[in-house]
Amino acid sequence: MAVMSPRSSAAEARRTRDRIVDRSVAVASVEGLEGLTIGRLAADLGMSKSGVLGHFGTKETLQLAALERASAIFTRAVWDPAAEATPGLTRLRAVCEGWIRYLERERAAFPGGCLFTTAVVEFDGRDDGPVRDAVARLFRTWRRRLIVDLRIAVRAGELPPDTDPRQLAFELIGLYMGLNQAIQLLRDPQAPTRTRKALTRLLT
């Protein structure tokens, strides 16, 4: 009888955990983070409930793992491709275009649309807790990154000197929340084009 080595056993455990997290992200994008149940995931993945619980222990831990994975997908699709662009308006426009493509194309990972848009609606009215805090922290981080490039653009004369970077970052985030809604709820094929027109107006 073959005995699995500790290294092979650890690698298999990581692969199983990744399968659970990937499925959690997909389910949460459609049904929300509260839609993640141990029983649902076990059935979807052909696992036992104890097998799923063995990797996460609690639903909250699973929710946080799903947020972390979704953040990694967002970073890979939106921030990383723009990393080498010139700071300021050039990098900001690259980020904005990546954000549009992310909402249009990440259907394999997010069949129900952007997980963060779903999570914001789900948790914005709740009392503080680890999951709500994680969602808010991610949004604050992304907002700060937008503000950095907006401030650089103002200093470089790429945007009018009276531009308020915090206000403009607020408008940009609202624009992408609206884009996700138009794609998912309204099935509007013109939504990306409308978003690009709005960006031209905001970033001129």
Assess whether pLDDT exceeds 90 at residue 70.
yes
Q: How large a percentage of the chain has pLDDT more than 90?
A: 72
Residue found under tokens 């970077």: 165
Res 7: pLDDT: 62
What are the angstrom distances between the C-alpha of 148 and each of 51, 144, 155?
A: 44, 6, 11
φ/ψ of 180, rounded to 5, equals -60, -45
At 82-108, the pLDDT tens digits run 999 999 999 999 999 999 999 988 877
d(CA 192, CA 103): 9
Average pLDDT in the 39-49 region? 91
At 112-122, the pLDDT tens digits run 888 998 898 89
pLDDT bucket at 140, cuts 50 / 70 / 90: very high
pLDDT bucket at 5, cuts 50 / 70 / 90: low
What global pTM score does this model have? 0.86
Q: Are 20 and 56 in contact, with CB atoms under 8 Å apart?
A: yes
Average pLDDT in the 189-195 region? 96
Assess whether pLDDT exceeds 60 at residue 2.
no
Mean pLDDT score of the chain, rounded to an integer? 91
- For 63-202, which CATH class? mainly alpha
Q: How large a percentage of the chain has pLDDT more than 70?
A: 96
Helix (H) or strand (E) holding 74: helix 59-74
Sign (positive/negative) of CA torsion 117, 118, 122, 127? negative
Two tokens at 30?
Answer: 């459609």
Among the listed ranges 2-16, 115-129, 186-200, which one has the minimum average pLDDT value?
2-16
By residue count, the chain amounts to: 204
At 152-171, the pLDDT tens digits run 999 999 999 999 999 999 99
